[in-house]
Amino acid sequence: MKKIVLMIMIAGLVAGACSKKAVDKEEENPLLSAFNTPFETTPFERIKVEHYMPAFKEGMKKEMAEIDAIVSNPEEATFSNTVEALDSAGELLTKVSSVFYNLNSAHTNEELQSIAKEVAPLLSKHGDDIALNEKLFARVKSVYEKKKSLELTAEQNMLLDKAYKAFVRGGANLNEEQKAKLREINRKLSLLSLKFGENVLKETNAFEMVLKSEDDLAGLPETVVLGAAEAAKDRGYEGKWVFTIQKPSMIPFLQYSEKRDLREKIFKAYVNRGSNDNEFDNKKTASRMAALRVEKAGLLGYKTHAHFVLEPNMAKVPENVYKLLDQLWKPALKMAKKEAKELQAMAEQEGNDFKLQAWDWWYYSEKVKKAKYDLDDEALRPYFKLENVINGVFSVANKLWGIQFVERKDISTFHEDIKVFEVQEADGSHIGILYTDYFPRASKRGGAWMNSFRKQSKKGGKNITPVIINVGNFSKPTGDKPALISFEEALTLFHEFGHALHGLLSDCTYETLSGTSVPRDFVELPSQLMENWAAHPDVLKMYARHYETGEPIPQELLDKMEKAKYFNQGFAAVEYLSACYLDMDWHSLTGAEELDCMDFENKSMGRIGLIPEIVVRYRSPYFRHIFAGGYSSGYYSYIWAEVLDADAFEAFKEKGLFDQETARALRKHIYSAGGTDDPMELYKLFRGAEPKVEPLLKRKGFLQ
């Protein structure tokens, strides 16, 4: 059910916005008419801030008229005149929302953030007006109750099930008093989610560490120093160096800076975001959201928010999530403790008598890696020129499915950093459009993601092709050097490209089911699977080439990477899994009281025995995934999908890295199928059996 899915999407992407002028005439507002552009892509240069609010209101008005037409239809409810009609409703609102929220995430400003605040409660009410429409639900329910007598395709059955359950989960069976309470909870949650995300962005942008002395640069590689000098120049600190808590700036500093006090300063600035008792503090917001979610879950008849969220997912119930986490936590923690001892020994070997702290981990892990494997990130970076990595991921897609990527200069973008590619089949036929936006800026939230401006669907016998965007915050060019990214950033690029392929290769009839419209713990399979190719030695030889000489990465470095593949895996797993536990603990609460945020977090981490040398990947006050995104009770999905992707890649290990038969099956049952069937059934159609956990345990070094 598209409009309810849209509301969920909006809650995950929100960050702010406010209208100034009214634009009444449709021809004056480009959002209210067809885009007369190549492939009907967004004409960003024509869209102004004052266009959004009128377009949102018109979109809601038109969708409500479409809903009224379904409800007032005098004919008996059928799949066509009710369920399909419902899937088609809201096209304009979807278009406006897609443009607005993509920009609000990747290129926001105070005006957009103001609009987001203004429109959030309107959209919340609009979504509730549809979800709680008794006559509409009655028609959907009528079709649902006679579905066994209908000759529906598997995809139609899935659409019907999803539509019916969306109403039930949206409160359609509640009484009037309960519906009013649900509306108020939804309104509050939408605004709190906005506030949370906005605070994280502002706190992240507010911090800068300005260094005035070259002595403070001790240990930092030349590329890092050059980047800091350019950042300082951009901020008006000519002749100085600036480091921020954007990861491309912070991580290299933590890895290489010899100044322990400065490492502590930047690390604490990062992990204390949203917890500084200032105007951007998120502690009470997080606690309030958790309490409201308990109320909402209880209202809808669920024990906890986690039970509510997990019901349509592969995991089904919280117990299954905790079971997987527990299975991985014990070996991961054991490995992390061993790693901590190695780092402590390295620090003592240098004559230090302090106890290893979290801000020391990156620094001494680099030293241990160098000592044990003669390998460090800066030795790899020259082989990961951004353009080469992009060509590498395009080549993998080409070798698997013959698809090609043709850069288009005639398609509008919303920032000069963005590139646009037309995606084509091997025969040149059009698949879709891909935007890439890879460099950090103050107007962009942190992290990396994929989103859509238009999802694939089929309407009136016509295939509506997708328009997809990949966004990242990777290392920028410095001085006369191109953008040289880390190997970890290369893995992230491949990951997000996997999400993009999921959207681009979709071959579904209904937008509600197309592309990435799958259970949360299945959606990471297509993305994480691509990381396997990124790290494979044969593929690295294809794209990892020295930015100056063009020579492929030498076998010597590949051998070192292979030997070091289990290095720091304990840290990586513990840092991530602890965040999964924190998410599940917040959303397994049964009481709606507002708890002390940091006290709750400390008890959660104490229960699992998180060691002090490692900080949970996302602390509660900046855990955007669960408080300003769509991953509440769902952060575990990355590791759930890792079980799937490790098992899935075994098929290519068995039959060949680019085996065409396996690739065709992968495209058909995973990348193209969207949410047209149960995800486990789709997986078994591809793999022939349910996944095994052993490939993942082996890959992480937990089974050797």
Pair 390, 496 in one domain: yes
- Give the pLDDT of residue 480: 85
In a domain, 257, yes or no: yes
> Is 219 or 9 the better-scoring residue by pLDDT?
219
- Give the pLDDT of residue 9: 38
CATH of the domain at 492: 1.10.1370.40
Instruction: Say which residue the tokens 């278009």 belong to.
Output: 95
Q: What mean pLDDT is predicted for residues 64-77?
A: 98
Confidence class of residue 704 from pLDDT cuts 50, 70 and 90? low
Beta-carbon contacts of residue 376 (< 8 Å; ≥ 6 apart): 366, 369, 370
Pair 255, 401 in one domain: no
Confidence class of residue 23 from pLDDT cuts 50, 70 and 90? very low
Q: Over the stretch 474-509, which tens digit does the pLDDT of each residue have?
A: 999 988 899 999 999 999 999 999 999 999 999 999
Q: What mean pLDDT is predicted for residues 614-641?
A: 96
Residue in 84, 366, 496, 531 annotated catalytic: 496
Pair 142, 236 in one domain: no
Q: What mean pLDDT is predicted for residues 464-478?
A: 95
Pair 95, 242 in one domain: no
Pair 126, 217 in one domain: no
3 state DSSP class of 59: helix
Q: Six-digit token pair at 563? A: 């030997």
Q: How far apart are CA 411 and CA 244, in angstroms?
A: 33
In a domain, 298, yes or no: no
Q: Containing domain of residue 32, as a range?
A: 2-131+133-169
The angle subtended at Cα 681 by Cα 680 and Cα 686, nearest 5°, is 95
3 state DSSP class of 452: strand
Average pLDDT, the chain: 94
DSSP H helices, 507-548, are 520-523, 525-535, 537-543
- Judged against a pLDDT cut of 50, whether residue 182 lies above it is answered with yes
- Judged against a pLDDT cut of 60, whether residue 1 lies above it is answered with no
Pair 117, 239 in one domain: no
Other C-beta atoms closer than 10 Å to the C-beta of 386 total 23
Return the sign of the alpha-carbon dihedral for residues 286, 192, 295, 322.
Answer: negative
In a domain, 463, yes or no: yes
Q: Six-digit token pair at 268? A: 């604490």
Asked if residues 26 and 89 have their Cβ atoms less than 8 Å apart, the reply is no
Pair 25, 76 in one domain: yes
Q: Which of 242, 271, 300 is the last residue of a domain?
A: 271
In a domain, 431, yes or no: yes
In a domain, 243, yes or no: yes
| Residue 404 backbone phi and psi in degrees, to 5 | -130, 160
> Is 244 or 13 the better-scoring residue by pLDDT?
244
- Judged against a pLDDT cut of 90, whether residue 259 lies above it is answered with yes
Pair 149, 242 in one domain: no
- Judged against a pLDDT cut of 60, whether residue 12 lies above it is answered with no
Tell me, letter by letter, the H, E, C secondary structure of 73-126. Answer: CCCCCCHHHHHHHHHHCCHHHHHHHHHHHHHHHHCCCHHHHHHHHHHHHHHHHH
In a domain, 585, yes or no: no
Per DSSP (E only), the strands in 214-258 are 241-243
Pair 221, 107 in one domain: no
Q: What mean pLDDT is predicted for residues 295-304?
A: 98
- Give the pLDDT of residue 265: 98
In a domain, 510, yes or no: yes
Q: How far apart are CA 419 and CA 493, in angstroms?
A: 14
- Judged against a pLDDT cut of 90, whether residue 24 lies above it is answered with no
Q: What is the dihedral of CA 488, 494, 499, 502, to 10 degrees?
A: -160
DSSP lists the bridge partners of residue 468 as: 434, 452
113-to-288, 427, 437 alpha-carbon distances in Å: 21, 43, 20
CA of residue 3 relative to chain centroid, distance: 20
What is the reported pTM? 0.89
- Give the pLDDT of residue 20: 36
When divided into structural domains, the chain yields a total of 3
Q: How far apart are CA 602 and CA 58, in angstroms?
A: 47
Pair 126, 241 in one domain: no
- Give the pLDDT of residue 27: 56
Pair 414, 507 in one domain: yes
Q: Over the stretch 552-611, which tens digit does the pLDDT of each residue have?
A: 999 999 999 999 999 999 999 999 999 999 999 999 999 999 999 999 999 999 999 999
- Judged against a pLDDT cut of 80, whether residue 11 lies above it is answered with no
200, with CB counted inside 10 A (0-12, 13-18, 19+), is: buried
- Is 279 assigned a catalytic role? no
Q: How far apart are CA 594 and CA 596, in angstroms?
A: 7
Q: Which of 271, 290, 314 is the last residue of a domain?
A: 271
Q: Over the stretch 188-217, which tens digit does the pLDDT of each residue have?
A: 999 999 999 999 999 999 999 999 999 999
Q: How far apart are CA 402 and CA 672, in angstroms?
A: 15
Q: How far apart are CA 204 and CA 236, in angstroms?
A: 19
- Give the pLDDT of residue 479: 82
Q: What mean pLDDT is predicted for residues 303-328?
A: 96
| Residue 320 backbone phi and psi in degrees, to 5 | -70, -35
In a domain, 201, yes or no: no
Q: Which of 271, 297, 321 is the last residue of a domain?
A: 271
548, with CB counted inside 10 A (0-12, 13-18, 19+), is: exposed
Pair 154, 225 in one domain: no
Q: Which of 17-31, 329-343, 370-384, 402-416 shows the lowest per-residue confidence on average (mean pLDDT)?
A: 17-31
Q: How far apart are CA 144 and CA 123, in angstroms?
A: 27
Other C-beta atoms closer than 10 Å to the C-beta of 30 total 22
